[in-house]
Amino acid sequence: MAGLLRRRSRRLLAGLARPYRWWLALAAVLILIRSAAFLSLPYLVGLGIDKGVRPGTTGNLSTLYLIVGALLLAIALNALANFAFLRVSGQIGANMLFDLRRTLFAHVQELSLSFYERYTSGRIISRLTSDIDALNELLSTGLNSVLTSTISVLAITVILLRLDVRLGMVTLVAMPIVVALTYWFRSNSGRAYRAVRRAIVLVIVHYVESLGGIRAVHAFRREPRNQEIFEDVDARYRDANIWSNRLVSTFGPAINLLGRLTTTSVLLYGGYLVIQGQLTLGILTAFVLYLRQFFDPMQELSQFYNVLQAAGAALEKLAGVIEEAPTVPESVTPIRLDSVKGAVAFEHVTFAYRDKPVLHDIDLNVPAGQIVALVGETGAGKTTMARLIARFYDPTIGRVTLDDVDLRDVAVEELRRAVVTVTQESFLFSGTVGENLLFGRPGATRDEMVEAAKAIGAHEFISAMPNGYDTDVRRRGVRLSSGQRQLVAFARAFLADPRVLILDEATSSLDLPSERLVQRALRTLLRGRTAVIIAHRLSTVEIADRVLVVDAGRVIEDGPPSELRVAEGRYGSLHRQWLESLA
Amino acid sequence: MVVVFAVSQVGSLVAAASIPKVIQHIVDGPITHRHLDQLLPMGALLVAVGLVEFIFVFLRRHYSGTASLHMETDLRNDFYAHLQGLQVSFHDNWQSGQLLSRAISDIATVRRFVSFALIWFLQTVVTFVVVVILMLQLDWQLALVVVGCMLPIAFFSHRFHEKYKFIARRMQDQQGDLTTIIEEMATGVRIIKAFGRMPLMQKRFEDQAGLLRGTSLHAINERAEIWTQLNFLPNLSLVSVLLLGGMSVVQGRLTIGGLVAFMSYVFMLTWPMDAIGWVLAMREEFQTASERLNEVLDSHPEIADRTHARTHERSRGRIEFRGVGFKYPKSNDWILRDLNLVVEPGETVGLVGRTGSGKTTLAYLVPRLYDVSEGSVLLDGIDVRDLQLRSLRSHIGVAFEDPILFSASVHENLVMGRAIVSDHELKRAIDVAQAGFVWDLPWGLETRVGEQGYTLSGGQRQRLALARAVLGTPPVLVLDDPLSAVDVHTEAAIEEALARALQGVTGLLVVHRPSTLALADRVALIDGGSIAAIGTHRELLRTNELYRALLSQEYREDREEALA
Ligand SMILES: Nc1ncnc2c1ncn2[C@@H]1O[C@H](COP(=O)(O)OP(=O)(O)OP(=O)(O)O)[C@@H](O)[C@H]1O
Ligand SMILES: Nc1ncnc2c1ncn2[C@@H]1O[C@H](COP(=O)(O)OP(=O)(O)OP(=O)(O)O)[C@@H](O)[C@H]1O
Ligand SMILES: [Mg+2]
Ligand SMILES: [Mg+2]
């Protein structure tokens, strides 16, 4: 199959098939048995007619019985081999599909956030669903048709050449044309199928995103515009499909036409030979009949080739995803941190999202156990600093360290256990409240879970829900109010029990009593942990040991809140303004 | 279209059938009679028939493919339109993966069935009937034997149907569940990474994919069984014909030639049987797919224009909640009950309440994202359910508590579905929301914000959502905690600008922080599902215990306590 697919797709396919090579061999053997049994049928029937049936001679039917017995054996063998083959090849296909899904999912999960920002979830979804489905057909029926037809074509070629070499050569002259046709088909259908894949992605992306934000769509009356966009991309998908269908509708019949032309040539040349007395009529007739059996499997092969092309376009996309490397890769030789103390430091850190510089030469040392508050205007870069500590991104220049070890050298698993973030967006998964809490620490007992919920004041509303901790919060937690979501997200992080806890606006949607409750709880809960608290409500900041004021990517003030509050700096003015706002 | 299709269908069949005839003529005519000069014209005829066949087959495939693809697209467009028209609560309750798998793979299954299976089925039936007639003419007894051998098909295919329909359903549902997991992974990746729960998600995914694999293996086995059976029956009839026909020949009731012809007919049945196998499996998948599609298409939009819904050209902006009660669909808890509130034109009312008290829910009722369970919401004295949705919503600007942004340009995100908005108006809205940062983005308003606006900071997202709400100066503004993610400086600036923007505009303002309440003329305290108290901020602070707990500077005492 060399040359039929691009290299990286071929490698992917080969890698998938490798574990099943013995099963594939078994499938090939079964196919051979099946084909042999099947091809023996006409032969046995002919034998039966020639030898077993003599008109008028009543009595001796034993030859006929014998041959019928042999036939019964052959069709039983055929059926058994067929059944076994279908199951084996189906199993190979299903397993390969499973492996591909698994590999791809694992790989995508390893990729960094910058990939997700660029790629969007809709694209990822379409890769993992519709592209894999496009392979399904190849894996579930491809093996059957390619093996069967190849065997038939080869067998018939041999028969043809043995029947009559001259006519056989005439037939083989058609082969270069088949190759040329195939080449034409390949280059065009490759483009067509790639267009199909590109278009379906657009359909899925628009679909997923617009329905995901249905509240805003309704409130701002965007339905007609969305419909317009959807119909546009859907039409693109349709047209790409029509294009590929047109190619297939040309290719298959063209191969068929070629068969007709070859038959004509054979008839003309053979007829000439017969007339010249160089060939018997019987051989010519047989030849023409066999030609049909030559071009039927060719048709089948062309079908398979089409399926292969369609799958090839999908494979290419999948191989493209597999080729993506995480921009925040795990070190191959990670340094073991025996027990994380939780000292965090920025050493001359500069960071840019793609080309957009956000942090400039930040130098910072947070000893283990310190509670640090980050304050500053929106867009100053606070969340970005938090993301660097959690190693969602790597600094462009400089390094971020945990216990004096560059984060790039820490094993991902260890880092994730040590550093946990409550992100600004409190995302919950569909599933029960309990499951969402346990996401923080899958091994936790129910008591520990309830304890964590109680600690930050979430227990009350959770137990008031119809099924308590077993209430399904549904997609993204829509079953909860935003404050409730935030409390669950908070409790989830506590349950994780990290050394370093980052709270990014973790109480912004709470009412004041709940917020105060959380703040009071924080004093005990943060004991012995390093904490980075980002907050616009300065009440939260007051529990910090140290405040950092971030402005346009630089730390411009640094000190204990009690000092900064009274100083004439940025924090002083922020604090005064905040006090006024409370009045 | 239909004509082209029918003509090409018939044409291609006729051409294909006449080719053996032509060949036979060539062999029996020029070759047998050694007429070299007639060989070429006959050859040309054969080529011509071949070309005609080619053209017809091409036309048939092209047109049937194109037609079915058009059908698929129309179906998907309708499906999407239907989903967009369904109320928010529908989307809350459905897994998005299930909806996606319906829109993509189920609809494709329907198309495949229509484009291949129907045609195959027709061809199969035609072939079968023709062959059986030919057989009957030749030898009716043997023909009956063949038909007898084929009878078990009915039994086999019934049994297959009984089993496969459940498998097909399970398979397609599991595919939807798998899609849901993929979607959650792709959208929740920040959380997964924050906790390092990749192995957990991987396990969830593999468990689900494993279930799907199990089901498809089940399906494969069932298909293998029926295909083998369907393949076996013609072979069995072949053997029977040879045995019985052979005996007939021996007894002189049939000629050898007749037997040979009969056998070749039996061979012709193999392909149709294979096709039946495919069609049977496809039919089950098709039925499951249509069933799954209908589950969605049959759910009627609960929030839609009533038959006599009217438009409302100009709104004064008077909002009234009259005896409003609300339960979320599929839930028995009253979130709101007996709630009465009037917001006069131009007035701004603050909504205050504990976390989970129902403020957001109340806000949703105004643009009819949900409908009241009892009582009514009135705009200018008209029940909102009697207004056309588009008309109603055109009077209301909403800022949700989480800014819902799309991966499109800032401009698209601001304008959304509104008619063309002037640059001047855009600028005003951006200024009100203090969202001037958009001018500094690489391509200004044309910059794409990432999915959910994730390439912006939290405060930037929120300000964009606020700008979107005030864009076009709608007479009613519903702002749900619009300043939770901005710093105090920015907050003060926005409040100042909002105060101006709210002049002459009716506002419903959900707040947790006292500062923003300066914008409100009155404040309503929501507790126990209804308005527990209403009045100015100062009044309520003075008179209401709960209100004080929710909004007073109790914190100060707290802090002084800590400092002491
Ligand atoms: N993924 C991203 N890609 C590109 N730019 C980004 C991305 N995330 C943030 N930015 C930009 O980086 C800057 C800093 O953002 P960051 O989220 O760190 O701000 P912040 O201090 O947390 O603000 P806020 O208080 O509003 O949350 C902003 O200008 C923002 O637009
Ligand atoms: N789809 C839903 N189905 C059932 N109950 C829901 C649903 N959405 C919200 N609720 C419940 O309704 C109540 C009110 O929720 P709502 O979002 O209106 O609260 P809120 O006052 O806005 O709170 P917050 O201040 O936290 O935003 C909550 O107890 C919540 O759990
Ligand atoms: Mg932030
Ligand atoms: Mg709310």
Closest Cα in chain A to B77: A231
pLDDT in tens, A543-555: 899 999 999 999 9
Q: What are phi and psi of A68, to 5 degrees?
A: -60, -40
At A516, list the tokens.
């105060």
pLDDT in tens, B314-363: 889 899 999 999 999 888 889 999 999 999 999 999 999 999 999 999 99
Radius of gyration of chain B measured on its C-alpha atoms: 36
Q: Give CA–CA dist A208/B83, Å, rounded.
A: 12
- Best probe of the B interface among A220, A327, A402, by most B CBs < 10 A, is A220
Domains of chain B: 2-297 (1.20.1560.10), 319-563 (3.40.50.300)
CB A91 within 8 A of CB B220: yes
At B241, list the tokens.
């014909």
Q: Please give chain A's pLDDT, 583 residues, in tens.
A: 445 567 888 888 899 999 999 999 999 899 889 888 887 887 888 788 777 776 655 556 788 888 889 999 999 999 999 999 999 999 999 999 999 999 999 999 999 998 998 888 899 999 999 999 888 888 877 878 888 888 888 888 888 888 888 888 888 888 899 889 988 998 899 899 999 999 999 999 999 999 999 999 999 999 999 999 999 999 999 999 999 999 999 998 999 899 889 989 988 898 888 888 888 888 888 888 788 778 888 888 888 888 888 899 999 999 999 999 999 888 888 888 878 899 999 999 999 998 889 999 999 999 999 999 999 999 999 999 999 999 999 999 999 999 999 999 999 889 999 999 998 888 999 999 999 999 999 999 999 999 999 998 999 999 999 899 999 998 888 999 999 999 999 999 999 989 999 999 988 888 888 888 888 888 888 888 999 999 988 888 888 999 999 999 999 999 998 888 888 888 888 888 888 877 6
Residue B508 in this model has a pLDDT that exceeds 80: yes
Residue nearest to atom 11 of ligand 2 (CA): A480
Residue B554 in this model has a pLDDT that exceeds 60: no
B515: chain A residues, CB-CB within 8 Å: 580-582
The pLDDT of residue B328 is 93
The pLDDT of residue A548 is 94
CB contact residues (below 8 A), chain B span 441-500, against chain A: 442, 450-452, 454-460, 463, 468, 481, 484-492
A43: chain B residues, CB-CB within 8 Å: none
pLDDT in tens, A303-345: 888 888 889 999 999 999 999 999 988 888 888 887 889 999 9
At B343, list the tokens.
């917001």
The pLDDT of residue B560 is 42
B78: chain A residues, CB-CB within 8 Å: none
Residue B357 near ligand 2, beta carbon < 6 Å? yes
Full-model pTM? 0.92
The pLDDT of residue A380 is 93
CA–centroid distance, B299 to ligand 2, in Å, is: 24
Residue nearest to atom 24 of ligand 1 (CA): A378
- Best probe of the A interface among B66, B72, B80, by most A CBs < 10 A, is B80
Give me the total of CB pairs closer than 8 Å, taking one residue from chain A and one from chain B. Answer: 496
Q: What is the mean pLDDT of residues B369-388?
A: 94
Of B368, B366, B363, B322, nearest in space to B342 by CA: B322
B355 to chain A, closest Cα gap in Å: 5
Residue B396 in this model has a pLDDT that exceeds 90: yes
The pairing of strands A419-422 and A371-376 is: unpaired
pLDDT, mean over chain B: 89
CB contact under 8 A, A86 and B468: no
CB A561 within 8 A of CB A541: yes
B27–A contact, CB cutoff 8 A: yes
At B413, list the tokens.
């995100």
CB A287 within 8 A of CB A167: yes
CB contact residues (below 8 A), chain B span 123-182, against chain A: 175, 178-180, 182
CB A418 within 8 A of CB A340: yes
Residue B553 in this model has a pLDDT that exceeds 70: no
Task: For chain A, count helices (H), then strands (E).
Answer: 21, 10
The pLDDT of residue B493 is 93
CB contact under 8 A, A475 and B92: yes
Q: Who contacts B450 (Cβ-Cβ below 8 Å, separation ≥6)?
A: A117, A120, B407, B456
Domain residue ranges in chain A: 97-322, 344-582
Q: Give CA–CA dist B27/B58, Å, rounded.
A: 29
Label residue B562 by pLDDT band (50, 70, 90).
very low
B45–A contact, CB cutoff 8 A: no
CA–centroid distance, A268 to ligand 1, in Å, is: 78
Residue B138 in this model has a pLDDT that exceeds 70: yes
* Structure ipTM over 0.95, yes or no: no
Residue nearest to atom 17 of ligand 2 (CA): A481
Could you tell me the CATH superfamily of domain A344-582?
A: P-loop containing nucleotide triphosphate hydrolases (3.40.50.300)
Residue B335 near ligand 2, beta carbon < 6 Å? yes
Of A460, A141, A474, nearest in space to A305 by CA: A141
The pairing of strands A530-534 and A371-376 is: parallel
Listed in sequence order, the DSSP H helices in A276-411 are 281-323, 382-389
The DSSP code for A91 is H
The pairing of strands A344-353 and A397-402 is: antiparallel
B315–A contact, CB cutoff 8 A: no
The pLDDT of residue B385 is 94
Angle at A54 between CA A53 and CA A60, to 5 degrees: 80
Give whole-number Cα distances, B251 to A226, A348, B144, B239, in Å: 78, 104, 19, 18
CB B435 within 8 A of CB B464: yes
A463 to chain B, closest Cα gap in Å: 13
CB contact under 8 A, A379 and B457: yes
Other beta carbons within 10 angstroms of residue B14's beta carbon come to: 14
Other beta carbons within 10 angstroms of residue B294's beta carbon come to: 11
Q: Give CA–CA dist B374/B384, Å, rounded.
A: 13
- Best probe of the A interface among B8, B34, B191, by most A CBs < 10 A, is B191
Architecture of domain A97-322 in this structure: Up-down Bundle (1.20)
Give whole-number Cα distances, A217 to A122, A205, A272, B319, B400, in Å: 17, 15, 76, 22, 12
CA–centroid distance, B327 to ligand 2, in Å, is: 10
Q: Who contacts A232 (Cβ-Cβ below 8 Å, separation ≥6)?
A: none
> Of A88-92, A172-176, B119-123, B382-386, where does mean pLDDT reach its minimum?
B119-123
